[in-house]
Structure 1
Amino acid sequence: MTDTTVFDWRSFLLRWSGEWADSLPEGETRSEDDEIARRARWLGFPPASEERIAALEERLGRRIPPSYREFLEVSDGWRHAGGFVWLLAGTEDARWHRNESELADMFGEYLDEDAGPEERREADIWRRGLQLDVDSDVTHVLMDPEDVDEDGEWAVYTWASWRAAPPERHANFLAFMREMYREFHSLRARRSDGEPVFDNATTRELDALVEEARTEALRGGWERAVKALDEAKGYGRPRAAGLGDQIRRLLGQTSMVYYDGLVTDPRYAPELLPPLVAEHAAHSYRDDSTLRFQLRGAEDDLVALAHATLEQVRNGTYRYTAAGPFGEAVERAHELARWGDTDGAWRTLIDALPLWEPLGPDLLAPLGWVADPVLGPLLAPERGRELLSTPRGGQAGAAPGPTAGLDPGGLAWLAEPDPGNNRTSYRFVLVEGVEPEEVPGPLADGDGAVLNEPMTLWEARHRSSHRQTEFSSYDDRALMAVGRAGAGWSFAFDGDPAGFDRRRFVSPAAAAGAGTRAVVVWSGLRTWHGEPFFHLSVAREGAEQYAFTYADGQVRQSGEIPRALDPGRFFGDLEDRAAVERSLLDAVGREFGARLPRHAIVNGRLHTFTTRSWTRPPRDGETYAVIRMRR
């Protein structure tokens, strides 16, 4: 229930009037009415008598809502409601709009049979609304007699064509006036040279609130902090938006996050510029004209740094660093993340967070790492909340419980549907007792064994196809991501393999297992093209120990297969292919104690390389096609 009956309208309107009067420069040319209002320190008019209110209600044919009535009892109208309504109606000027603006017709043109109640209200308000704007900058203010709450309050709608937005709804007249007071503050807070400093009891209260919120955020109380910062931001207080944006970015909210007033401060550039330009790079499509606007007021050196950082972000070469013990943890986390251990990398960062030293008092958390191509994918909403809840920057507080890891462990997650249901076939190699950077050696030829910089599998495929100039119908070179696959294992993974041809397929297990043990899995049990298939081969010391292939409804096997991996246990009934695939992957994971990191493979960036072909060379009499392209 809305409680507006106890609101002290007179104190509120007197405070507003006094602050407005004090904000005007001496000698500024104003209308006679404004000059009288400035001297009187009163933007209103004499109170409306009960007779005038009764006459208004008789003219309208209905009782006016409570908060508007209480306002009229203090002031029969109002000047300068916000920045764009210069005169607000009292008892004499309030009237039914009756589509005088013809906006009902304009809004009605956009309605179709699927239009919802809110869209229809936006069109109908112009026919039934009570108009309160008398003089304005093409800004309409209407109260809706059919949008009524349990207290009899009418919603207020405001709309201006130059705002390019739908009508804005306010719960009642009091809520509307409070918003106009905030708008007045917000506009006055952005002063130009030569105007009086906008300093009053309200601004001092809000600035103290911002400072309290800053300290509270560093203690881990981000929810209370962001609420206070949003309140101060509504009044245009300096620092409030820049501080609040830091919290929002760590919560995964990137729209309209500009770190206003802080990103152009050279002290904070190492932390705030990278996430700003990374978001710009993600949506700019190489149009960098808006970046200068986001950095308005910045010195040339800082703008140059922004463009240099932007180029690094686009090239995938940006590397986040920090000072002190936290910076050392960043390096350890980077090493873990680039080989796929994103859960370990996150714990390394968060455990070191209390040691982080801010670059200045208005930095609430380390932020530059979210633009790092390797560290950035560590961020998830629940992890952002954990970071924000962790005391830091020299503040004490209770540490939050750790968030659950993003990797389920094992291999069975590969059988789960992914967004778009695109992962229907994949292959991977597990190699025991070697580091990830050693995996390409026995699987690739020449330059193919050189690891690319960490990137997503999509980026790696795009760059590889752009460089490739020859395509063969017999060639099946796999572009594979590499990393650690649990204790004692490394992996190479291809999430978008070519079609499986049992007659020409050559398992790379023996080559990968030279001097160690290797496991090869190629699954297409849920493939959309052709018959389902599944292959497993295991080699030790360069020789295949055992293997089986399910294809064309049959199983072909060799060697002594352990009971846990016996294909007879899995291929009796393929009615539920995902269940069969899950059981197979679970058995492989248990047998070898290996896993694949889901978060790194699906969302992260890993090193990649190109293997030699997974198919044998053509035999005599077998035809094939080769396509060569000129670049």
Structure 2
Amino acid sequence: MTDTTTSDWRPFLLRWSEEWADSLPDDETRSVEDETARRERWLGLPAASEERIAAMERRLGQRMPPSYREFLAVSDGWRHAGGFVARLAGTTEASWHDNASGLAENFERYLDEDARPEGRREADIWRRGLQLDVESDATYVLLDPEDVGEDGEWAVYTWASWRAAPPERHADFRAFMRAMHREFHRLRAGHGDEGPVFVNGTTREKDALVARARTTALRGDWERALAMLDEAASYARPRAAGIGDQIRLLLGRTSRVSFGPAGRGPLYAVEQLPVLVADHAAHAYGDDSLAGTLRGADDDLVSLAHAMLDRMRDGTYRCTVAGPFGEAVERARELARWGDTDEAWRTLMDALPSWEPLEPDHVAPFGWVADPVLGPLLTPERGRELLSTPRGGWTGRPAEPAPRLDPDTLRWLAEPDPGGTRTSYRFVLVEGVRPEELPGLLADGDDAVLSAPMTRWEASHRSAHGRVAFSSRDDRALMAVGRAGPGWSFAFDGAPAPFDRHRFVSPAAAAAARAGTRAVVVWCGLRAGGGQPFFHLSVARDGTEQYAFTYQAGEVRRSGDIPRALEPDRFLSGREADATDAEGALLEAVSEEFGTRLPRHAIVRGRLHTFITRSWKRPPREGETYLVIRRNRDFARRDRDGRAGGGAPDSR
């Protein structure tokens, strides 16, 4: 029904009435009026004549909006508009509300001089609205004579205190009645085995819409498919929301994703369950709620989910998919865990046409989002690319590739980061060495082992867990590792300790200890607050430092034969005010000199392997002091005589 005419209203109202009558249990107790309506299969009343409608308009002093007028010409009132309005007004019962409920003051209480127009309208509606609800479950229905569209239609506002939400706006009376028809369907469909099987023309029409939406989605037209699924879901068709959730998940709209009741098929086990468990791991405060997240799951399934949750938390969970697309998932994971997220994404997209659904309602691969390494690959732009790509044996228009996320240089480090927390950073670039070999060059003993891929926050939390002593004599860096361009690996620390020029020892020589290798060390704090801006560069080959310079306090200290391309005087004038402007140019010069880069997306948003290096400080000399703090029952005390006793901290 799109036009406001009596010919449109009648078939719509007749269908609604018949669906309502057929949905009633035979043994249900009903009023005389409802029993008559069931028997006659009509929820309406006799049509109002034009004279009757005109008399109503004279009484109210307003011409009624077109859709309500045409409705009255078919039925002079209505029973059971949705689930909470037992009777809607006709020509004799509609009246100005005139704040009879006293709700205007309640809504005005929350207004101030900066209130939005919508807020003022929601408060004023109680004084000027035309009330249409006659019998209801504490639900108000008001036509607004001052919220008028170009077509002369008045908006309809509905509100119920038990919904704990602002008044809901409907564009006109026709839109309101269609919303109430959908509400009727949602409530009846939820009755399950308590009443007659709820199958009718509308349910068959919406189920056919779901089937068409699935095909549309597989052809890559996800926007049209999602609109069709949302339409069907608004009538509570059982498959619509679950299929739509697959699309919403890949668009990043995770707050609306639930997939419906727990299942037992491969789609649930391989795709849906991991996503739900991963979301729980990321956002839940306690694991007791996991069973509630898995709606309808039995004890065995809940136990499986808890085991999966443990693997996700310790970094051992891996997404596994069968077939050629599953092989691409494995290749993409290997690329992503070393930071090459752009190439990992292209690997997935190149294999997507070979992907096959696990079940008829499966419209896109999405279980990989739960993989701790692969999940960070997803962005809204990439999600749209995946959804726009024809798959599952269907053809369609090729998708527009999402833009690459990683620049080809180091310059991005000089750009402001979200939250402005990256004011200092340091990294080591090593040529001819694989990322997994870096701990052997930069760490000792148990520290020379890579962790599972994790975020910077996770790595920091785990490295501090169980530690009882913290000393300022050492500067052992927690570094993420990965690939830094053809033939190069990196170790990166985005939150280093304060720079101490007098005790700093560059790890460049140790990183280049193997014959035929080069190492580059950069430590930048040109935007660091609370201290003097600084920049350090050192380069080593075959275990020997070749050249280095350190800028701080407007001075440059240098050693070795520095190439013209990296000459600090080209970038740093010696005046601190110019230091920040030089950061991007310095990083660009390092990139060009060595052909290196750092993967922005993996470092900022992804999960990478980490390890803890040897100290970047030399040992203290005679007479130099340092601080050691030892934790003991969540408090610390200073022992100024330098003795470490009883778990107390000492200052040296």
TM (norm. structure 2) is 0.94
Task: State the match for 1:484 in structure 2.
Answer: 483
CA distances 1:539-575 after superposition (whole Å, capped 9, x unpaired)? 0111100001111111111111111001111112654
- 1:200 — aligned with what? 200
For 1:188-235, what per-residue CA distance to the aligned partner results, in whole angstroms no more than 9, with x for missing partners? Answer: 222321522111222111111100111111121111110100110111
State the Cα deviation string for residues 415-446 of structure 1 (Å, max 9, x = none).
00001111111000001101101011121121
2:294 counterpart of 1:295: yes
CA gap 1:7/1:163 in 2 versus in 1, 3 angstroms: farther
Q: Write the distance in 2 (CA, Å) between the matches of 1:91 and 1:559.
A: 96
Cα deviation for residue 294 of structure 1 reads 3.8
- Aligned residue for 2:412, secondary structure, equals helix
Give aligned-pair identity as a percent.
Answer: 73
Within 5 Å, give how 1:63-462 maps onto structure 2. 63-261=63-261, 265=265, 267-286=267-286, 288-289=288-289, 291-462=290-461
CA contact (8 A) 2:572 2:578 kept: no
| Contact in 2 for aligned 1:242/1:261 (Cα 8 Å) | no
SS at match of 2:230: helix
Distance between the aligned counterparts of 2:84 and 2:561, measured in 1? 83
> Distance in 2 between the 1:523 and 1:41 partners?
78
Take 2:266 and 2:567, find their aligned partners in 1: how far apart are those partners?
A: 64
SS at match of 1:16: helix
The answer to whether 1:600 aligns with 2:602 is yes
> Aligned pair in 2 of structure 1 residues 32, 398: CA closer, same or farther (>3 Å)?
same
Paired with 2:59 and 2:400, the residues of 1 have a C-alpha distance of 63
How far the C-alpha of 1:137 sits from its partner, in A, is 1.2
1:124 aligns to what SS in structure 2? helix
Contact 2:18 2:42 in 1 (8 A): yes
For 2:628 and 2:14, the matched residues in 1 are separated by 84
Superposed displacement of residue 576, structure 1? 4.9
The answer for the alignment partner of 1:543 in structure 2 is 544
Letter in 2 for 1:612: R
Matching residue's letter, 1:188: R
Q: Which residue of 2 aligns with 1:580?
A: 582
Q: Distance in 1 between matches of 2:3 and 2:331?
A: 55
Q: Which residue is 2:618 aligned to?
A: 616
Shift of 1:625: 2.0
Q: Distance in 2 between matches of 1:518 and 1:7?
A: 81
Q: Which residue of 2 aligns with 1:559?
A: 560
Greater mean deviation of Cα atoms: 500-509 or 309-318: 309-318
SS class of match (1:439): helix
Name the amino acid aligned to 1:275: V
2:283 is aligned with what amino acid?
A: H
CA deviation after TM superposition for structure 1 residue 401, in Å: 2.9
Secondary structure of the residue aligned to 1:8 is: helix
State the alpha-carbon separation in 1 of the partners of residues 230 and 472 from structure 2: 60
| Inter-partner Cα distance in structure 2 for 1:287 and 1:114 | 42
Aligned to 2:525: 524
Asked if structure 2 preserves the Cα contact closer than 8 Å seen for 1:432 and 1:488, the reply is yes
- 2:533–2:552: 8 Å Cα contact kept in structure 1? yes
Q: 1:618 to 1:7 in 2, by over 3 A?
A: farther
Q: Secondary structure of the equivalent of 2:255?
A: coil
Which secondary structure does the structure 1 equivalent of 2:565 belong to? helix
C-alpha deviations, 1:119-146, integer Å up to 9, x for none?
Answer: 1111111111111111111111111111
Which deviates more from structure 2 when the two are superposed, residues 417-426 or residues 19-28? 19-28
Cα gap change, 1:294 to 1:626, in 2 (>3 Å): closer
1:309-353 deviations in whole A, cap 9, x for unaligned? 233333333211111111111111111111100011111111111
Tell me the secondary structure at the aligned position of residue 311 of structure 1.
helix
SS of residue matched to 1:288: helix
Cα separation, 2, equivalents of 1:115 and 1:406:
40
**Distance (Å, rounded) in 1 between the aligned partners of 2:621 and 2:383:** 57
Deviation at 1:580, TM superposition (A): 0.7
Out of 586, 590, 593, the position equivalent to 2:592 is 590
User: Is the 1:263–1:272 Cα contact (8 Å) retained in structure 2?
Assistant: no
Q: Distance in 2 between matches of 1:570 and 1:233?
A: 60
Q: Which residue of 1 aligns with 2:637?
A: none
Contact 2:241/2:259 (8 A) holds in 1: yes
Measured at CA, do residues 400 and 34 of structure 1 come closer, stay the same or move farther in structure 2, by a change above 3 Å? same
Instruction: Verify the 8 A CA contact 1:476 1:614 in the aligned structure 2.
Output: yes
1:115 deviates by 1.4
Q: 1:313 to 1:108 in 2, by over 3 A?
A: farther
Q: CA RMSD in A?
A: 1.6
Q: Deviations over 1:71-119 (max 9, x none)?
A: 0011000001111111011111111112122211222222223211111
Structure 1 counterpart of 2:138, one-letter code: V
The alpha-carbon deviation at position 236 of structure 1 amounts to: 0.8
Measure the CA separation in 1 of the matches of 2:579 and 2:6: 66
Q: What is aligned with 1:23?
A: 23
- In the TM superposition, residue 299 of structure 1 has moved relative to its aligned partner by 3.2
Equivalent-residue separation in structure 2 for 1:95 and 1:604 (angstroms):
60
- Change over 3 Å in CA distance of 1:553–1:575 after alignment to 2: closer
How far 1:3 sits from its partner (Å)? 5.1
The 1:425–1:263 alpha-carbon spacing in structure 2 relative to 1, beyond 3 Å, is farther
Distance 1:452 1:293 in 2: 32
Cα gap change, 1:7 to 1:121, in 2 (>3 Å): farther
Q: What 5-or-longer segments of structure 2 have no aligned partner? A: 634-652
Q: CA–CA distance in 2 between the matches of 1:442 and 1:350?
A: 36
- The alignment partner of 1:9 has SS state of helix
Separation in structure 1 between the aligned mates of residue 597 and residue 295 of structure 2, nearest angstrom: 49
Partner Cα separation in structure 1 for residue 614 and residue 480 of structure 2? 14
Normalized against structure 1, the TM-score is what?
A: 0.97
Kept after mapping to 1: 8 A contact 2:248/2:256: no
2-structure distance, mates of 1:303, 1:287: 11
Q: Which amino acid aligns with 2:254?
A: T
Structure 1, unaligned stretches of length 5 or more? none
Structure 2 residue identity aligned to 1:270: V
Give the partner amino acid of 1:570: F
Q: Contact (CA 8 Å) 1:445, 1:611: kept in 2 or not? A: yes
- Structure 1 distance, partners of 2:434, 2:410, is 20
Contact 1:264–1:295 under 8 Å retained in 2: no
